[in-house]
Amino acid sequence: MKKIAVFASGNGSNFQVLAEQFPVEFVFSDHHDAYVLKRAEKLGVKSYSFELKDFADKAAYETALVQLLDQHQIDLVVLAGYMKIVARTLLDKYEGRMINIHPAYLPEFPGAHGIEDAWAAGVKESGVTIHWVDSGIDSGQIIRQKRVPRLATDSLATFEERIHQMEYALYPEVLESLGIERLAK
């Protein structure tokens, strides 16, 4: 069975959706106070957290991440709201085995504020993209995308909620397509 680790920086709603459907070996957060760590505890999933500021530089930080992934023999790293740009140290070991979810229809609106940027641009639709991680920002090969229309009745909050609902449906589909087995029911 393939082992997955989920990286998240904040709330962890995508992590929770995945952990309820797939065996997650562990979750990692780059913030000690991230709510995702509480979600992991409630779900009985191992969690780890350390911050970039605790290391001499980003290479040392990512070396610690690689050691953690190797220790658990992780097959696929699943980024779910992980707000750090992945650098060479981690990519050298895990490129081709790391995916990311982005709340916009790439290549439209890459970066940290995909939903807000799409809203501000007044688009008629945006979406969700799941892609392989490479050295660029949201530039890796696209695995799957789905459009989410912007309704006339939408507020930014309702538009954002519908994009998140699409994420919760799409990420499990992609994991399954990559050979990750669902939990037995």
Helix (H) / strand (E) element for 39: namely helix 35-43
13 known ligand binder: yes
Q: Give the Å distances, CA to CA, from 26 to 19, 69, 120, 129.
A: 9, 9, 36, 23
d(CA 35, CA 12): 7
| Cα distance between the two ends of the chain | 16
- Residue 180 annotated as part of some ligand binding site: no
- Residues designated as active site: 102
11 is annotated as contributing to ligand binding: no
12 is in an annotated binding site: yes
Task: Characterize 127-154 residue by residue with b for buried, 16 or more Cβ atoms within 10 angstroms of its Cβ, and e for exposed.
Answer: bbbbbebbeeebebeebebeebebeeee
The answer to whether 85 is annotated as binding is yes
- Does 1 count as an annotated binding residue? no
Residue (of 144, 161, 18, 156) closest to 80 by Cα position: 18
Q: Is 14 annotated as a binding residue?
A: yes
Binding residues for (6R)-10-formyltetrahydrofolate: 58, 83-86, 100
Binding residues: 12-14, 58, 83-86, 100
